[in-house]
Chains A and B, each alone.
Chain A
Amino acid sequence: MRWRALKFLWLLVTSFSLLACGSSESNVAQGNRAGILHFGNGTEPQGLDPHVVTGIPESHIVRALFEGLTVKNPYTLESEPGVAQSWEVSADGLIVTFHLNPEARWSNGDLMTAQDYVWSWQRALSPAMGNQYAYMLYPVENAEAFATGKLQDFAEVGVKALDAHTLQVRLNAPTPYFIQLMDHDSTFAVHRPTIEKYGVATARFTPWTRVENIVGNGAFRLVDWQLNRRIVVEKSDTYWDQGRVQLNGIVFYPTENISSEERMFRVGQLHYTQTVPLDKIPVYRAMQHSPYVNAPYLGTYYYLLNTNKPPLDDVRVRQALSLAVDRVLLNNTVLHGTNLPAYGITPPGTLGYQPPKIFDHDVARARQLLAEAGYPDGNGWPGLALTYNTSESHLKVAVALQQMWKDALNIEVTLVNQEWKVYLDSIDQMAFQMARRGWIGDYVDPNNFLDLFLCGGGNNNTGFCDPQFDDMIQRQAPRARSREERYTILHAAETLLMEQMPIIPIYTYTSNHLIHPSVHGMPSNLMDSLNFKYVSLDKDWKAAD
């Protein structure tokens, strides 16, 4: 009796496993044949309204569905034609004229016009919209005044449709990176009739971005959106440059759990992962034909120093702390060599800009500086608290630095761990002595990192304030006549910043992905920027044994 039951169970298990095996062609194999990219996208997007969303997962989907006036070439990061087929900048750098491609269409077939941009930018800048990235348009004359409610009449903002296909923009000051900003979600055009059909222009809660309603202008159109499950887009037949588009579709998966994402990649459910678990990196590095791709990323990991509170109000203490950090050792051990030691706030190679390196790991000098500040060999040290947000990797870095400071300077640093939102409040209110911080650039220009430290800037968070620095960033650099001259000024400003040391730069971020070898057209770049128009899949790809 019992024997027969066991036999039945065995039969059940084996037949079931056969069933499972029979249908196990992987997403990747299927996708390669059908031209469908399976893309690990991190999290479920907050939404798809370009003027509302703020995150990177959102931006991947938004860029598939919409296109800016210009787009970035993924190989060089230089701007190239998007909706605008060409543009000119006036000799004084104050007027930019975009010529729209007469073939550019919305996904419902409507032609795109310059007026679409005027209306969309008004929407993006309206205070009622609550667009957190409205500042991307601040270089435009009077845009900031309108966005902050000081100016009511949008006609006074420097954007005008000269005719159906010519858009003229007046700027506050010459802004060399303005063309690049046209590739940012918050400067995208949105389809007015669709939005107005579902509510007022500035409403955040309307269903206009749902599958059945959304109208975009990108290389793909939305066909399926299942919450926390998948978002599917397919090649658009109204896109002006559809000849270049090689993918037939993309499936975006919300892969919050990075270990699950890595497993999905391993069994062929994904072509591309958003990141790689740190402890898996050595394994992938050791592989032949490794799918692991690691590249410098436009972001810096640093510690904020509150220069208003002792002992960090003394520049010598700030310098001593920074000089005592062995960034190379930290990177090689704790970080598995995945990042780059940083000695300035700007990541290296930002469109040709190299940050100054005015100091190095120097324990003797650090001890001397600390002694000069009145704490010889750590005597009389009042203690220092380091605040960081809950995360295994932030903790590891903090513990390593705590030990380095103990060994090199004989001083105690205590660690304060805070949950993300609590930590954000502490940073905002400067309720800390020293705090972890990361900054990811929105556009490729050293200005994006340096203007953080303007006097009273919203993301300064250190109390650092130097009129000479402000003058270089705000007045001298924009008036420079060439890229070289401008970089020289910015270099001097960054040198000044690092002499004052309101922050301790620790490392430059890198992007880490697993990319299946059948995927082409996803080159590494500093922005970790990809343009799906360039991506193709190798139909005949077979694993090389």
Chain B
Amino acid sequence: MWRFIGYRMLQAIPVLLVVITATFFLVRLAPGGPFSSEKAVIPEVRAALEAQYRLNLPVFEQYTAYLGDLSRGDLGPSFKYPGRSVNELIAAGFPVTAELGLYALLVALCIGGTAGIIASLRPNTAQDYVPMSAAMIGICMPSFLLGPILILVFGIYLDWLPVSGWGDSPGDKVLPAITLGSAYAAYIARLGRAGMLEVMSQDYIRTARAKGLPEWQVVVRHALRGGMIPVVAFLGPAFAGLLSGSFVVETIFQIPGLGRFYVQAAFNRDYTMILGSTVFLATLIVLFNLLSDILAAWMNPRLRSQFGDR
């Protein structure tokens, strides 16, 4: 097992290096620069600004200097927010995005898992079609539509929940978590149903039933662990997706997360911020994929044996 983890860690290094290099040169290739502005910038001012951000150096020197800073964990100063470092902006936004992502994942698991299991128990009946149709709607409904609808109903007409904010008033985390989690709930429902259906037709389930166990015990104690493997494999990428894809929800609900900074950085040509957040998120994605692989291996003995860990 440890050899497997070590091997995967080593694999991550070239992946990250490619990500850094590609991002570094791509942002510089994009037309327009961080200092293009609606009012003409006089050459002297532009030169002074470029010197402060090392943009006056040859590109390759900028690249090596950036790698040097990166190896010390310094992501550089932000272009858009002078006086703030990229490290600081990520440190401010990431905990919020992670918390939102976590809640969204819980929502997705509760709703999606339950729906998937219920659907799988009586395949091709109303008990299957209803949750699965709802899941289809969940996948198709974009969060920029679902968010405002939830706000209108629960925030404005019923006045139960705040329409925006994060941690400012009780309950303001509910709607964002549901909005962000619902699309993933739909995926989880479909994956869970498929996994459960496969497991429920296995011999060991028939054995469990033959022993005379009540149906709920068959499902909970025997089928669930095997049936949820596809869901667990999906969780790693899903959480990474939640972290990097929360921009829309953060904007709708005015949440001070990383997603807003990340997308704004691209519009602003905030080179260091784009690079910093990309590197940071890429690292996280690599890490979560690794984690979900390990978890899947733990749940599936057949996979475990492949790592020669008996």
- A residues with a Cβ closer than 8 A to B are 16-17, 19-21, 23-24, 44, 46-47, 49, 52, 54, 127-132, 134-135, 147-149, 204-209, 226-229, 253-257, 259-260, 263-264, 266-267, 269, 419-425, 428, 438, 457-459
Task: Name the B residues within 8 Å of A132 (CB-CB).
Answer: 37, 39, 41, 45
> What are the 5 A-B residue pairs with the smallest beta carbon separation, nearest first?
A421-B32, A458-B40, A228-B256, A424-B36, A229-B256
Chain A residues within 8 Å of B136, by CB = none
A256 with B251: CB separation less than 8 A: yes
A425 with B32: CB separation less than 8 A: yes
Residues of A within 8 A of B65 (CB): none
Looking at the complex, which one of A17, A23, A267, A425 makes contact with B36 (CB distance below 8 Å)?
A425
Partner of A256, one of B37, B49, B77, B260: B260
User: Does chain A have a CB within 8 A of B73?
Assistant: no
Q: Which of B56-64, B155-163, B186-194 contacts A (4 or more CB under 8 A)?
A: B155-163
A21 near B159 with CB under 8 A, answer yes
CB distance from B251 to the nearest CB of A (A): 5
Known: A227-B93, A228-B261, A229-B166. A266 touches B52 (CB 8 A): no
**Is B163 a contact of A20 with CB atoms below 8 Å?**
no
Which residues of B lie under 8 Å from residue A21 when comparing CB positions? 159-160
User: In the complex, A147→B48 CA distance in Å?
Assistant: 11
**5 further A-B pairs in the complex, CB-CB below 8 A; given A24-B162, A423-B32:** A21-B160, A229-B166, A254-B254, A257-B252, A424-B32
CA distance A178 to B244 in the complex (A): 49
Collect the chain B residues with CB atoms within 8 Å of residue A147's CB: 42, 44
User: Are A428 and B36 within 8 A (Cβ)?
Assistant: yes
Interface contact A264-B164, CB-CB below 8 Å: yes
Partner of A46 from B30, B77, B80 at Cβ < 8 Å: B80
- Taken residue by residue from 249 to 270, chain B's Cβ proximity to chain A (1 for < 8 Å, 0 otherwise) reads as 0011110110011000001110
B163 touches which of A49, A127, A128, A269 (Cβ 8 Å) = A269
Residues in chain B near residue A420, CB distance under 8 A: 32, 267
B42, A458: Cβ atoms closer than 8 Å:
yes
| Cβ B83 vs Cβ A206 within 8 A | yes
A-binding residues in B (CB < 8 A): 30-33, 36-42, 44-45, 47-49, 52, 77, 80-85, 89, 92-93, 148, 151, 155-156, 158-166, 168-171, 251-254, 256-257, 260-261, 267-269
Q: Which residues of A contact B37 (CB under 8 A)?
A: 54, 132, 424
* Contact indicator A226/B40 (Cβ below 8 Å): no
The one of B47, B84, B161 that contacts A20, using a Cβ cutoff of 8 Å:
B161
- Give the distance in Å from the alpha carbon of A228 to the alpha carbon of B81 in the complex: 12
Q: Which residue of B lies closest to A422 (CB)?
A: B31
Which chain A residues lie closer than 8 Å to B82 at the CB level?
46-47, 49, 52, 204-205
| B155 & A205 in contact (Cβ 8 Å cutoff) | no
Contacts of B254 in A (CB 8 A): 253-257, 260, 264
- Find out whether the CB atom of A148 lies under 8 angstroms from the CB atom of B32: no
Complexed CA–CA distance, A148 and B45 (Å): 8
CB nearest neighbor in A for B216: A1
* A23-B31 in contact given A132-B41, A260-B163, A269-B164 (Cβ < 8 Å): no
> Which residue among B36, B82, B260 has the maximum number of chain A CB atoms within 10 Å of its CB?
B82
Selected from A148, A228, A259, A457, the residue in CB contact (under 8 A) with B148 is A259
Tell me, in angstroms, the Cα distance from A24 to B33 when the chains sit together.
45
In the bound assembly, the distance between CA atoms of A257 and B143 in angstroms comes to 15
How far does the alpha carbon of A422 sit from the alpha carbon of B41 in the complex, in Å?
A: 16
A530 to B164, CA, bound (A): 26
Asked whether, in the complex, the Cβ of A47 is within 8 Å of the Cβ of B81, the reply is yes
Q: B32, B81, B155, B251: which has the most chain A beta carbons within 10 Å?
A: B32
Residues from chain B with Cβ under 8 Å of A425 in the complex: 31-33, 36
Q: Specify which of A24, A130, A257, A260 is in contact with B49 (CB 8 Å cutoff).
A: A130
When distances are taken between beta carbons in the complex, the residues of chain B under 8 Å from A46 are 80-82
Q: A21-B160, A24-B159, A129-B48 are in contact. Are A49 and B83 (CB under 8 A)?
A: yes
A sample of 7 inter-chain contacts (CB < 8 A) reads A47-B82, A130-B49, A204-B52, A227-B89, A260-B163, A263-B155, A266-B163
Q: From residue B193, how far is it (CB to closest CB) to chain A in Å? A: 19
Q: Tell me if B40 and A428 are in contact (CB < 8 A).
A: yes
Tell me whether B269 and A421 are in contact (CB under 8 A).
yes
A residues near B155, Cβ cutoff 8 Å: 263, 267
Within 8 Å CB of A259, what residues of B?
Answer: 148, 252
Q: Are A422 and B40 in contact (CB under 8 A)?
A: no
Q: Which residues of B contact A267 (CB under 8 A)?
A: 155-156, 159, 162-163
A263 vs B161: C-alpha distance in the bound complex, in angstroms?
13
Chain B residue with Cβ nearest A228:
B256
Which residue on B lies nearest to A207, using beta carbons? B83
A130-B45 contact in complex given A205-B83, A260-B254, C-beta closer than 8 Å: yes
Q: How far is the CA of A208 from the CA of B92 in the complex (A)?
A: 19
Q: Which of B93, B168, B253, B267 is the one whose CB lies under 8 Å from A421?
A: B267
B183 to chain A, nearest CB (A): 19
CB distance from B261 to the nearest CB of A (A): 7
Bound: A112/B268 CA distance, A: 37
CB distance from B43 to the nearest CB of A (A): 8
Contacts of B93 in A (CB 8 A): 227-228
B268 → chain A, closest Cβ, in Å? Answer: 8
The reply to whether A260 and B253 contact each other, CB–CB distance below 8 Å, is yes
B260 — which chain A residues lie within 8 A by C-beta? 228, 256
Closest Cβ of chain B to A293, distance in Å, is 22
Cα distance A227–B91 in the bound complex, in angstroms: 10
For B45, what are the chain A residues with a Cβ–Cβ distance below 8 Å? 127, 130-132, 134
> Complex: how many Å from CA A127 to CA B50?
12
Q: A23-B169, A23-B170, A46-B81 are in contact. Are A148 and B42 (CB under 8 A)?
A: yes
Does B161 lie within 8 Å of A260, measured CB to CB? no
**Are A266 and B32 touching (Cβ within 8 A)?**
no
Shortest A461–chain B CB gap in Å is 8
Residue in contact with A424 in the complex, picked from B38, B148, B159, B162, CB distance below 8 Å: B38
The answer, among A128, A254, A264, A269, for a CB contact under 8 Å with B48, is A128
In the bound assembly, the distance between CA atoms of A459 and B32 in angstroms comes to 17
Distance, CA A131 to CA B52, complexed state (A): 13
Chain A proximity of B262: nearest CB distance (Å): 12
Q: A47-B81, A205-B77, A421-B36 are in contact. Are A20 and B170 (CB under 8 A)?
A: yes
Smallest distance from the beta carbon of B177 to chain A beta carbons, Å? 13
